[in-house]
Amino acid sequence: MKLVLSQEQQDLRGSVRSFLASVSPMSGVREAMESADGYDRSVYDRLNGELGLAGLIVPEEYGGAGAGHADLAVALEETGAALLPGPFLATVFATIALLPERDKELLTAVAGGGLTATVVSGPSAGPDGVVSGIAPQVINGLDAEVLLVRDGRHGLVAVDADAGGVTREALGTLDPTRRQARITFDRASGRVIAGSAAGEARSRDLIAVALAAEQLGVLRASLDAILAYSRIRVAFGRYIGSYQAVKHKLADMHCKLEQAESIVRHAAWAADESPGELPEAAALAQIYLGRACFEVARDHLLLFGGIGYTWEHDAHLYYKRAKADEVLLGPPRAARARLADLLEL
């Protein structure tokens, strides 16, 4: 088992962190979220061009870095902490879905060409790759260039977002830093990529682990923000962090961070090294991170006091991302029921 970052992983974390601090600071996140596209395409291009993040887990033969899921988790923790808007996570999900099928065309385009993609479920496909139906909610559905439709019978079907028969409508979203769309397919033509039940199951677990890594970043950033404030904000002649009412809550939040990080490292290790342990580790990560991330984001907002309730303060952005992430892959009760099944309860 490996729960501690290697030197290379610490270096990766350092370079993603400093890149995001300079290229996508919170002022940039706010500009992006209020822009028409919802994100800054040049940030996404530089993220890939300079750091190669979209190709991180793509095999080297397809132009990627051939890194593992533990490395991916390190990167996602940072993009989560920075509330990076745009299709990075959606494209990671799509990449994870494509990996077991080793689809050269799309994997090469994601790693080298900056192609963005998102996984779509709901519509059904025919054996000829003609897709019909409604996907009620698709993350980054408006900006992804390829829609990867997961069909129960025929596996994955890749549909160009601007293909005939595809209608995309923007939805209102709780989280302004990650948009969603409703997508209607009316006999839209796509390319069938074979899929297997085993590949789909593994993809679902890996997607849960990837999301948990993002949540770990959101959790950590929320805690760091309120810790910094507690050390400088004075009330009744004392720093608020010196009051036990505040300090004890922060200590409990730190305990959640310690356990959350341990769970994410373990799940990412299982993804790379111990596939048999992955389903349970992924379900555990989804359950624990969903709750812990939201609780810490909520408490960090509350501890800021009134200023944390304002639009101009960043606290609500973390709070909203945490809540949206908690239900991104389904209601928490579904993950809990799944874990109960895995434990044979």
Partner 1 sequence: MDLEEYRRRARAWLVENAVEGAEGVAAARRFMAAMYDAGYSGISWPKEWGGQGLTQAEELAFAAEARDFTLPIYAFSIGLGMCGPTIVDLGTDEQRRRWVRPLLRGERIWCQLFSEPGAGSDVASLQTRAEPAEDGWIVNGQKVWTSVAQYADLGLLLARTDVEAPKHRGLTMLVIDMHAPGVTVRPLKDMSGRSNFNEIFFDNVHIPAENLIGQVDDGWSCAVTTLLHERLSISGGVGMSGARDNPASFERLREVVDTGDPIVRDQLVELYVRSRALTLFNQRLAEETRAGVFPGARGSAAKLLLAELTNFGADLAISLAGPEAVAYDDDGGGLARAVSQAPGLSLGGGTNEIMRNIVGDRVLNLPPEPRSDKNVPFKDLKVGTQQ
> Which of helix, strand or coil describes residue 311?
coil
Residue among 34, 258, 311, 312 that touches partner 1 (CB under 8 A): 258
Residue among 62, 288, 304, 318 that touches partner 1 (CB under 8 A): 288
163 interacts with partner 1 by CB under 8 A = no
Measured on CA atoms in the order 186, 187, 193, 198, is the torsion positive or negative? positive
Q: Look at the chain and count its residues.
A: 345
Report the residue number, 33 or 339, with the smaller CB distance to partner 1.
339
Fill in the DSSP letter of residue 114: -
247 interacts with partner 1 by CB under 8 A = yes
Instruction: Look at residues 86, 79, 82 and name the one whose alpha carbon lies nearest to residue 51.
Output: 79
35 interacts with partner 1 by CB under 8 A = no
Residue 154 has φ and ψ, to the nearest 5°, of -110, 15
Token pair for 205 = 């677990």
Residue among 215, 230, 322, 326 that touches partner 1 (CB under 8 A): 230
Supply the DSSP string of 30-55, one letter for each residue.
HHHHTSSSSS-HHHHHHHHHHH-GGG
Distance, CA of 118 to CA of 169 (rounded, Å): 15
Name the strand (E) or helix (H) holding 257.
Answer: helix 244-273
18 interacts with partner 1 by CB under 8 A = no
Residue among 3, 194, 235, 334 that touches partner 1 (CB under 8 A): 3
Dihedral (Cα; 281, 282, 287, 291), 10-degree rounding: 100
251 interacts with partner 1 by CB under 8 A = yes
1 interacts with partner 1 by CB under 8 A = yes
Distance, CA of 92 to CA of 107 (rounded, Å): 11
Report the residue number, 89 or 221, with the smaller CB distance to partner 1.
221
Total residues in contact with partner 1, by rule CB under 8 A = 38
Q: Taking CB under 8 A as the criterion, which residues in 309-338 touch partner 1?
A: 333, 336-337
Pairing of the two strands 238-239 and 117-121: unpaired
Distance, CA of 225 to CA of 304 (rounded, Å): 9
171 interacts with partner 1 by CB under 8 A = no
**For tokens 């706010």, what's the residue?**
30
Q: How far is the CB of 291 from partner 1 (least distance, A)?
A: 9
Q: Which stretch binds partner 1 (CB under 8 A): 29-37, 45-53, 93-101, 245-253?
A: 245-253
Distance, CA of 134 to CA of 185 (rounded, Å): 6
187 interacts with partner 1 by CB under 8 A = no
Residue among 255, 307, 327, 334 that touches partner 1 (CB under 8 A): 255
Q: How far is the CB of 211 from partner 1 (least distance, A)?
A: 17
300 interacts with partner 1 by CB under 8 A = no
Report the residue number, 41 or 291, with the smaller CB distance to partner 1.
291
| Residues near partner 1 (CB under 8 A) | 1-4, 227, 230-231, 238-239, 241-244, 247-248, 250-252, 254-255, 258-263, 265-266, 284, 287-288, 333, 336-337, 339-340, 343, 345
